[in-house]
């Protein structure tokens, strides 16, 4: 599992980058600090409790206007820190095909 967390070259931020996590359906939002990032994922420190939230997939909002964001899938949770894998458009299409859903839906 540790090797899966460290895939790709990571960049660590000394002070962290302020960001927000938001539910796919927009029903919840949490402030967070991006501690490190790679091409495929990130490590976040979440402010406040994540208990009871649907963290399977969420948006990582990198700007206050919401114009810079990444769709993420939860990889792991350790206290107030979470690891997330970035989902690409092609990944979502593959998952829909595997589930028998239309790609255009």
Go through the domains of the chain in sequence order and give each one's CATH number. Answer: 2-91 (2.40.10.220)
State yes or no: pLDDT of 54 exceeds 70: yes
Q: Which residue has the tokens 């939002």?
A: 29
Question: What mean pLDDT value characterizes the chain?
Answer: 83
Res 9: pLDDT: 87
State yes or no: pLDDT of 49 exceeds 80: yes
Average pLDDT over residues 23-40: 94
State yes or no: pLDDT of 86 exceeds 70: yes
State yes or no: pLDDT of 85 exceeds 80: yes
State yes or no: pLDDT of 2 exceeds 80: no
CA dihedral of 33, 36, 42, 47, whole degrees rounded to 10: -20
Res 22: pLDDT: 94
Token pair listed for 97? 């095909």
């Amino acid at each position: 599992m540790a090797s899966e967390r460290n895939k790709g070259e990571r960049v660590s931020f000394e002070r962290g980058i302020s960001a927000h996590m938001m539910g796919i359906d927009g029903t919840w939002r949490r402030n967070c600090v991006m501690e490190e990032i790679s091409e495929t994922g990130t490590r976040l420190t979440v402010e406040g409790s994540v208990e009871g939230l649907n963290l399977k997939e969420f948006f990582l909002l990198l700007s206050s206007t919401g114009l810079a964001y990444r769709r993420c899938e939860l990889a792991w949770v350790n206290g107030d820190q979470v690891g997330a894998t970035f989902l690409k458009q092609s990944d979502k299409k593959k998952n829909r095909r595997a589930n028998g859903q239309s790609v255009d839906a």
